[in-house]
Amino acid sequence: MQIPERGLSKQEILSALQAFKSHDMDWKAGRVWCYVYNPGQDPAEVMNEAYLSFLTENGLDPTVFPSLLKLETEVVRAVIDLLHGDSQAVGHLTTGGTESIMLAVKTARDKARVERPDIREPEMVLPKTAHAAFHKAAHYLGLKPVAVDIDPQSFQVNPQDIQKAITGNTILLVASAPSYSQGVIDPIAEIGKIAQERSLLFHVDACVGGLHLSFMRKLGYDIPDFDFTVPGVTSISTDLHKYGYAAKGCSVVMYRNKDIRKYQIFACTDTTAYTLINPTVLSTKSGGPMAGAWAILNFLGEEGYKRIIKIVQDATQELIAGINAIPELRVLGRPAMCMFSFASDTINVYQLADEMNKRGWYLQGQFATPLTPRSLHVSVNYGTASNVKALLKDLRQGVERVKQMTPIDSAGIRTMVEAALQAPDPGAAFGQLAARAGLTGTDLPSDMAFINEVLESLPDEVCNVFLVNYFNDLYV
């Protein structure tokens, strides 16, 4: 693309943009079981109008746009209240869970720099099920992530293993409510006790669960304590654009008090430009996500959220039971809410994902690890809840279709990968491997089963380089 010499008309622009979507998955039809969280037409319309009405306002300077300060303060206070924070608890809106997690890690690091200057190589202890955003934060901020094994049946971390992993360099403990991969809540109360005993900060990643679990609790579901009710919890991240059903670009990071939160804030008067004060990573921030979040919270209210959560939980239980009734499939662990994964001992679930994709469904593949089997992830939301029976029907048919296919030669792929790792020119060998897997050029691959087999066979550090190189070529 080049900037046109003369501008296009409004209709030409909108038609072109709509055409770009022609190959996107049809999330509005409720067939994408991750990434998108649809509250329904009426809430979405209200939220979209609110979002657009504040699209241009800039959250950089609250003295110019006090409306955004009010929106942010009210949304954050509402979420803090839902997660049982007291009047001392504070927080900020961010662009998403990754930024919220990044800020919690940055806060722990900067607090340690002031209060524990003897630590030169700070560490955070986290379960292997913790979200990759923590590893990203460690990479960006110069921390060492100490990943602790989880129980291969419950998929929870053992608090004693967390305890054993703590060293003199530990500055932060991490747990999930729930973990994304299997939807399981870690033993937050027990880890909170350890954090108190060792005088450590403790962050709970409730990006997917914060709102949903809180309303489940209000509906009478048996939910273990995971929020500020646990004394040792010092910070929590909760996304509004997931199960809060707000527009994309809105999460909350919360702290038990201002004495902790102050290490998050950055200020700079060291230049000739304006004074810069940033509570979060971004400087310029559109007011759109703030207004959208405020609108959806007030439009749905507690009654609306409870209604949605009940529908979603009923659909989840029907889907779990239906998947477990398919002899070749099994749901992993005991999911706490509407997120889970399922595996198979008899068919290749990557081939099943491709088959479901051909039928118009998107299920998210997850690689095997020494503690977890390869699996397909499902996030049920209000927009997909009505499609449970249709999904189960196609899953049953998909399983039968995969049973008729020629199985992928997993052992042969592993041999091929091992040979590439030992080749005199690994770069050339992996170039050939990428070509065979369809990971070359700027075209997106259609089938992912073979690609996933190759990627799963690679050591993590090699796979990460492989993917970085692919994305480096994919984008301009």
How does pLDDT run across 337-371, given as a tens digit for each residue?
Answer: 999 999 999 999 999 999 999 999 999 999 999 99
Tokens (6 digits) for 410? 């997993």
Mean pLDDT of 379-387: 98
Check whether 415 has a pLDDT greater than 90. Answer: no
Mean pLDDT of 50-71: 97
Q: How far is CA 225 from CA 105, 200, 208, 333, in A?
A: 22, 19, 16, 19
Is pLDDT larger for residue 454 or for residue 114?
A: 114
Phi and psi of 242, rounded to 5°? -105, -105
Round to the nearest angstrom and report the end-to-end CA distance of the chain: 11
Q: What is the DSSP string of 285-328?
A: -BSHHHHHHHHHHHHHHHHHHHHHHHHHHHHHHHHHHHHHTSTT
What angle separates helix 66-82 from helix 210-218, to the nearest 10 degrees?
50
- Sorted by where each begins, the domain ranges of the chain are 50-295, 410-474
Check whether 151 has a pLDDT greater than 70. Answer: yes
Phi and psi of 206, rounded to 5°? -110, 35
Q: What is the predicted pLDDT for the residue at 422?
A: 81
Ramachandran region, residue 422 (left: φ > 0; alpha: ψ -120 to 50; beta: rest): alpha
User: Over pLDDT 90: what percentage of the chain?
Assistant: 85
Q: What is the predicted pLDDT for the residue at 447?
A: 82
- Is 435 exposed, middle or buried, given 0-12, 13-18 or 19+ CB atoms closer than 10 A? exposed
pLDDT digits (tens, 9 = 90+) for 95-106: 999 999 999 999
d(CA 82, CA 91): 13
Check whether 429 has a pLDDT greater than 70. Answer: no
Half-sphere exposure in the Cβ direction for 213 (13 Å, CA): 27
DSSP state of 150: B
Tokens (6 digits) for 17? 């943009």
Give the pairing type, strands 170-176 and 123-127: parallel
Mean pLDDT rounded to a whole number for the chain: 95
Tokens (6 digits) for 9? 């008309």
Ramachandran region, residue 185 (left: φ > 0; alpha: ψ -120 to 50; beta: rest): beta
The answer to whether residues 264 and 103 touch, using CB atoms and an 8 Å cutoff, is yes
- Is 143 exposed, middle or buried, given 0-12, 13-18 or 19+ CB atoms closer than 10 A? buried
- In 3D, which of 109, 89, 91 has the Cα closest to residue 100? 91
Place 405 in a pLDDT band, splitting at 50, 70 and 90: very high
Query: What sign does the CA torsion over 76, 77, 83, 85 have?
Result: positive
Q: What is the predicted pLDDT for the residue at 371?
A: 95
pLDDT digits (tens, 9 = 90+) for 297-349: 999 999 999 999 999 999 999 999 999 999 999 999 999 999 999 999 999 99
Phi and psi of 305, rounded to 5°? -65, -40
Check whether 161 has a pLDDT greater than 70. Answer: yes
Tokens (6 digits) for 362? 């998107």
Number of residues assigned to the chain: 476
Contacts of 325 (CB under 8 A, 6+ apart): none
Place 430 in a pLDDT band, splitting at 50, 70 and 90: low
Check whether 260 has a pLDDT greater than 70. Answer: yes
Q: Which residue type occupies 128?
A: K
Tokens (6 digits) for 315? 């659909």
Mean pLDDT of 9-18: 96
Q: What is the predicted pLDDT for the residue at 427?
A: 65
Check whether 440 has a pLDDT greater than 80. Answer: no
Mean pLDDT of 71-77: 98
Place 434 in a pLDDT band, splitting at 50, 70 and 90: confident
Q: What is the DSSP string of 192-258?
A: HHHHHHTT-EEEEE-TTTHHHHHHHHHTT------STTSTT--EEEEESSSTT-PPSS-EEEEESSH
Is pLDDT larger for residue 202 or for residue 432?
A: 202
For 343, the enclosing helix (H) or strand (E) is strand 339-343
Is pLDDT larger for residue 91 or for residue 437?
A: 91
DSSP state of 64: T
Q: How far is CA 52 from CA 60, 73, 185, 295, 372, in A?
A: 18, 20, 36, 12, 43
- Is 163 exposed, middle or buried, given 0-12, 13-18 or 19+ CB atoms closer than 10 A? middle
Half-sphere exposure in the Cβ direction for 203 (13 Å, CA): 31
d(CA 324, CA 184): 18
Q: Looking at the domain covering 50-295, what would its CATH class be?
A: alpha beta
d(CA 429, CA 317): 46
Q: What is the predicted pLDDT for the residue at 217?
A: 98
For the chain, the C-alpha Rg in angstroms (whole number) is 23
The answer to whether residues 85 and 238 touch, using CB atoms and an 8 Å cutoff, is no
Check whether 244 has a pLDDT greater than 80. Answer: yes
Establish whether the linkage from the previous residue to 178 is cis, with ω within 30° of 0: yes
Q: What is the predicted pLDDT for the residue at 388?
A: 98
Check whether 54 has a pLDDT greater than 90. Answer: yes
DSSP state of 362: B
